[in-house]
Amino acid sequence: MSETYLVFAEHRGGKLRQVTLEALQAAAVAADDGGVRIAAVLIGHNAGALAEALAGYPVSDIHVIEDASLEHYNPEAYLHALAELCGAVRPVAVFLGHTALGRDLAPALAARLKAGQLSDVIAVERSGDETVFTRPLYAGKAFEKKVFRGTPWIVTVRPNNIPPAAVGGLATANVAKHDYTAPSSLRTIVKDVVRQTSGKVDLTEAKIVVSGGRGVKSSDGFKPLEELAELLGGAVGASRGACDAGYCDYALQIGQTGKVVTPEIYIACGISGAIQHLAGMSQSRIIIAINKDPEAPIFKVADYGIVGDLFEVVPLLTEEFRKALA
């Protein structure tokens, strides 16, 4: 009987999240065409509607756990549903996105399955008969390579680091629906979720991020950044200093105690570059810094630096990009 790698297919707003496709690719690399079946699991209310979209990718089996009580993420309920499926499927490995949901669910699942866990993986490669996982340490100052010595594995994949799986699924992908019964030990019930978002693009998955620090001076100071981000199809982020000052919501915070982002382009506006902030964005492909202080630490990690007032520079950039895109 062939082994199975299970991918937790995270979705939001009726669409698969980008990190789900990246987790599928990580599983495919780990499988190395060695006869391993790659399966995916969809959990949620009306989750089955996404099975067809998921079938367009290289998966052999799609498991759907659908129930009205699973409409909103509940740690206990989702853990119970996923653990029950793992008991039936017995996967050798489970891959999840290193998102707020994945970070919450993965360690609990690892404890339930008595499995080894690796978090925040940014690369997967094969070396002989082993699968080697790379993850950052010390806020990205160093990297370690790890291999599992036993099974099962639990792996979370950092968004925007592993290429997404390409379309080209198996015509014979099996879709199996599973019944869900809430456990009697369930202590919490999520009635509703109030979301405060930074825009149309998810911050952790955005290819372009425009971030503001204390230099934006007020909540209105974020408006030029929001305009630039919207024009480029990106997301708006912030330093802890800007959040602490009340200029924006903490949902936008990037850094050691906030979100970790690895976009193609990171534009830091009025951000000094404290080590805590660098921990959340230093792995960005291209870093552009805009700051009035030529001695600001952010310039040491920036690929391109602009010494100037962000309220003059950002509108000029927006105008030039608008002309170029037109």
- On the CB side of 280, CA atoms within 13 Å amount to 23
What residue numbers does the annotated binding site for FAD cover?
214, 239-240, 253-257, 270-277, 291
User: Three-state SS for 224?
Assistant: helix
Instruction: Tell me which residue of 248, 256, 253, 300 sits closest to 275, measured CA to CA.
Output: 256
Q: Is residue 54 part of a domain?
A: yes
Q: Is residue 188 part of a domain?
A: no
- Domain tally for the chain? 2
Helix, strand, coil % (nearest 5) of the chain?
Answer: 35, 25, 40
Structure confidence at residue 191 (pLDDT): 78
Q: What CATH number is associated with residue 254?
A: 3.40.50.1220
Neighbours of 19 (CB within 10 A): 30
CB-CB contact of 69 with 35 (8 Å): no
Q: Is residue 139 part of a domain?
A: yes
Q: Is residue 281 part of a domain?
A: yes
Q: What is the mean pLDDT of the chain?
A: 91
Q: Is residue 197 part of a domain?
A: no
Q: Distance between CA atoms of 142 and 228, rounded to whole angstroms?
A: 33
Band (274; pLDDT cuts 50, 70, 90): very high
Q: Is residue 273 part of a domain?
A: yes
Give this prediction's pTM: 0.86
Verify that 167 and 77 share a domain, yes or no. yes
For 51-63, what is each residue's pLDDT tens digit?
Answer: 988 988 889 999 9
What residue numbers does the annotated binding site cover?
214, 239-240, 253-257, 270-277, 291
The whole-number average pLDDT for the span 296-308 is: 96
Least confident of 146-160, 177-191, 261-275, 308-322: 177-191
pLDDT > 70? residue 225: yes
Q: Are strands 174-178 and 61-66 parallel, antiparallel or unpaired?
A: parallel
Verify that 211 and 295 share a domain, yes or no. yes
Verify that 161 and 217 share a domain, yes or no. no
Q: Which of 161, 178, 195 is the last residue of a domain?
A: 178
Structure confidence at residue 55 (pLDDT): 87
Verify that 226 and 162 share a domain, yes or no. no
Helix (H), strand (E) at residue 237: strand 235-238
Q: Which of 143, 178, 213 is the last residue of a domain?
A: 178
pLDDT > 70? residue 197: no
Q: Return the amino acid letter for 111.
A: A
pLDDT > 90? residue 183: no
Instruction: Tell me which residue of 243, 240, 323 sits closest to 280, measured CA to CA.
Output: 240
Verify that 227 and 297 share a domain, yes or no. yes
Q: Is residue 192 part of a domain?
A: no
Band (229; pLDDT cuts 50, 70, 90): very high
Q: What CATH number is associated with residue 111?
A: 3.40.50.620
Domain that holds residue 309: 203-325
Q: Is residue 280 part of a domain?
A: yes
Verify that 174 and 207 share a domain, yes or no. no
pLDDT > 70? residue 167: yes
Q: Are strands 130-137 and 123-127 parallel, antiparallel or unpaired?
A: antiparallel
pLDDT > 60? residue 210: yes
